[in-house]
Structure 1
Amino acid sequence: MAHYDVLVIGAGTSGLMAAISAAEHGATVGVIEKNKFAGRKLLVTGNGRCNVTNNRDKEEIIAHIPGNGRFLYSAFYQYDNYDIMNFFRSKGIALKEEDHGRMFPTTDKSRTIVNALVSILEDLNVDLHTDSPVETVLYEDNQAVGVLLKNGETIHGSRVIISTGGKAMPRTGSTGDGYAWAEKAGHTIKELYPTEVPITSNEPFIQDHVLQGLSLRDMTMSVLNKKNKAVVSHRMDMIFTHLGVSGPAVLRCSMFVLQTMKRDKNGKATLTIDSLPDLSKGELKQKLEQLVKQDGDKSFKNALKPFGPERYLLFGLERLAIDSDRPYKTVTPKEMEGIVGFLKDFRFDVHGSLPIEKAFVTGGGVHTKEVNPKTMESKLMKHLYFTGEILDYNGYTGGYNITGAFITGRIAGMHAAQSVLSS
């Protein structure tokens, strides 16, 4: 019967880092993974290129973890995104920076990162037990003591770290197993919800697939509350889909959409698109008025060409009941207002999201008030630690969630090892 100083459940981003950290701090470490190989979800992150972290300062990273990011402050002061970069570079992995501070391996392959982590485990003599699903975590005398595997085998650990992820992307093995083991230890699980997820809409133009497949680049999307004030705005790209809207801006707004819907008695939220964020309404109106002199003989659809994709413009003109073949010089002041309104503030209602299984990230999880933010140890069960997405914090895509996973893993592994070795 195996016994380790530190036993980590889950060989994902945070679990691998927790195991490495514990071993580097002198503990004997075992990792239990139900998949046939480690790092299954890591392999698909960043479209298979693995966006390992983000090159921004602490404050900005935490601002990009809008779901409870403050919980990570204490961890960040012990180990941060620059430490993550130094860790990989010190292991011979070159990184490069792309837009919005995203850091990738220069090979553009997530396999590079997963292979590196696994070979570091081997160098540190960490035992990796793959294809070993856990039945339950064992607790005795108010402390974690090990795990019972589904095959009936027991593995003991003086400290147990649960790094099983959330419920998003279940095909990678994130099926929410860890929540039951946390509850068994007395923990509260904050309601789970999808984040970084495409949004659905019952609007007729969506149901009729009028704009399906159309992308808008570098536009600003905002989520509006009941008073029509923007709850959050993101300037990025988006795409209309057969069910609603998706793309980077939508994923970032999704958590706020779902929160706004929850507060609305009809269960809906309003999104607005500003397709020309560099122009104020006044500046746009001026340009449209100049067009009457310059291109007045052209049809509406040809005169307005510089102001957006043709499909989007034709859709807007149709909504305003303007014949797109009419000469542009016949535009009325009311129509002009309508065009400005459509290009700067096109509002539509949204009614839900794809299910959590289709999300990139899980919101909710183990209540962070029940976890010591300096060590990631449970406040309710001795010798039990949590890392990564099982905890109730969530960030935007772009290297923020993975940063949280690496950091919480690093801190939990270090403190678990130090706690065993000093006892």
Structure 2
Amino acid sequence: MSYQVTVIGGGPSGLMAAIAAAEQGMKTLLLDKGKKLGTKLAISGGGRCNVTNRLPEDEVIRHLPGNGKFLYSPFSVFNNYDIIEFFEELGVGLKEEDHGRMFPVSNKAKDVVNALLNRLEELNVEIRTKTPVEAIHYGQDDHQIILQSKEKISTRSVVLAVGGKAVPHTGSTGDGYAWAKKAGHTITELFPTEVPLISKDSFIQEKTLQGLSLRDVNVSVLSKKNKPLITHRMDMLFTHFGLSGPAILRCSQFVVKEFMKGHRPVTIEIDCLPDRNEHSIIDEFYKQMNEQPRKSFRNIVKGIVPERLLDYLLQHISVKSGDKAANISNHQLRDFVNDLKHFQVSIHDSQPIEKAFVTGGGVSIKEIVPNTMQSKLMNRLYFCGEILDIHGYTGGYNITAAMVTGRVAGIHAAYEAMGT
């Protein structure tokens, strides 16, 4: 069989690429090894599908710390506002939530997936699911795709939209890296991002704080020289193996990059009271202790942090629950406030890439033409989505990068297939 454009991978970038190619009137084939298309979309945003983010372009790119600046060119062709318009034209109303996140009004990810599938059908895109690709043979005029069934498919343009290695049950198992290498591409080191972190600290091992959430705290990753590399203010969670929750997921790639430099363990520092400085907290407690010397120190400081953390911190400075304020030394008070502002956890590892939400690393962006997504090394070969060395925080940023690069790759794969 022969096609003008063949897209391999039915995630957000592949679906957008196939739609874009078919809208240019191309005979388009979409191949996916899974049973269903859009599996990752269907589970994103807790099953509600965080389609994109409405923040201004610069802000969106800032939330893609892994080579986000590469996206300025593709964004000039198709950007996050175009994604919103695209879905509204397909009949999927979107609503804005906190931090610019856009969700379907229905709160159902399947509405997003179905709108894309209906559009593919309208455009007569041939879809083959449960169709694994075994190899790609690149040629001068046509590329040949060899299926596992040994069937050969001839195509003018190929779009690789096969994802990374994160969330493998959705089909992202890293197949595309070998096909990219065969075309001469460099794959930068792969690593997990947006991933929970593992600690061997005794209080984690003993599950002292397991299940405890801290709200709106500052979480920093410290360098070897104890300087903050990055700080995120969000919620976090103590788990049976270490740390998780939004602030931790955002910090995780900076921890993993330190591991890659041979720095291990890496210190995470938590500031439980980011709006207050140490002096003002010490002064306030000191005043209360002088006014109520017979009151227990625990009752004076109660409510400043959740009780389980409070009890752990008091134990840390050797204060028992009944100890009176009058018996607390200045040294103990300073240590207590220091722990509130600089609670440190040693991170020894991260969960594996398969447990990560997003893959860091991938096909080097230096080898991709930014405004067309075409390979600089191979004619009519295009890359889009998570196979590229581009990654961001959760919040609609990765899906935005996938859809934008998919759309641009599909349009240009079509132009080249026409021979223009």
Q: TM-score range by the shorter chain?
A: over 0.9
> What CA distance in whole angstroms lies between the structure 1 residues aligned with 2:92 and 2:291?
56
- Once the two structures are superposed, what CA deviation does each residue of 1:92-151 show, in whole Å capped at 9, x if it has no partner? 11111111111100111111110110001001111111111111122123x661311101
> What CA distance in whole angstroms lies between the structure 2 residues aligned with 1:216 and 1:328?
26
CA shift at 1:293, angstroms? 4.6
Determine which of 250, 257, 268 is the counterpart of 2:265: 268
Counterpart of 2:185 in 1: which secondary structure? coil
Q: Does 1:382 align with 2:388?
A: no
Counterpart of 1:233 in 2: which secondary structure? strand
Q: Does 1:360 align with 2:357?
A: yes
- When residues 130 and 334 of structure 1 are mapped into structure 2, their CA distance, relative to the original with a 3 A threshold, is same
> What CA distance in whole angstroms lies between the structure 2 residues aligned with 1:87 and 1:296?
66
Q: What's the TM-score once normalised by structure 2's chain length? A: 0.97
Counterpart of 1:31 in 2: which secondary structure? strand
> What CA distance in whole angstroms lies between the structure 1 residues aligned with 2:43 and 2:168?
12
Partner residue in 2 for 1:38: 37
> What CA distance in whole angstroms lies between the structure 1 residues aligned with 2:12 and 2:305?
41
Q: Does 1:324 align with 2:321?
A: yes
- Once the two structures are superposed, what CA deviation does each residue of 1:304-361 show, in whole Å capped at 9, x if it has no partner? 2220100001111111112222123432211111111011111121111000000000
Gaps of 5+ in 2: none
Partner residue in 1 for 2:201: 203
CA shift at 1:220, angstroms? 0.6
> What CA distance in whole angstroms lies between the structure 2 residues aligned with 1:295 and 1:64?
48
Moved more, 322-331 or 244-253: 322-331
Aligned letter for 1:36?
A: K
Where do residues 111-260 of structure 1 align in structure 2 (5 Å cutoff)? 111-141=110-140, 145-260=143-258
CA shift at 1:295, angstroms? 5.1
Query: Is the 8 Å Cα contact of residues 165 and 174 (structure 1) preserved in structure 2?
Result: yes
- Once the two structures are superposed, what CA deviation does each residue of 1:397-418 show, in whole Å capped at 9, x if it has no partner? 0100000000000100011112
> What CA distance in whole angstroms lies between the structure 2 residues aligned with 1:396 and 1:369?
22
Query: Is the 8 Å Cα contact of residues 142 and 154 (structure 2) preserved in structure 1?
Result: no
Structure 1 residue ranges, 4+ long, deviating more than 4 angstroms after superposition: 293-296
Counterpart of 1:365 in 2: which secondary structure? coil
Gaps of 5+ in 1: none
Q: Does 1:308 align with 2:308?
A: no
> What CA distance in whole angstroms lies between the structure 1 residues aligned with 2:267 and 2:348?
9
Count residues in correspondence: 420
Counterpart of 1:273 in 2: which secondary structure? strand
Partner residue in 1 for 2:334: 337
Query: Is the 8 Å Cα contact of residues 220 and 277 (structure 1) preserved in structure 2?
Result: yes
Identity across the alignment (%): 52
- Once the two structures are superposed, what CA deviation does each residue of 1:180-230 show, in whole Å capped at 9, x if it has no partner? 111111111111100000001111111111111111011010001012111
- When residues 375 and 264 of structure 1 are mapped into structure 2, their CA distance, relative to the original with a 3 A threshold, is same
CA shift at 1:243, angstroms? 0.9
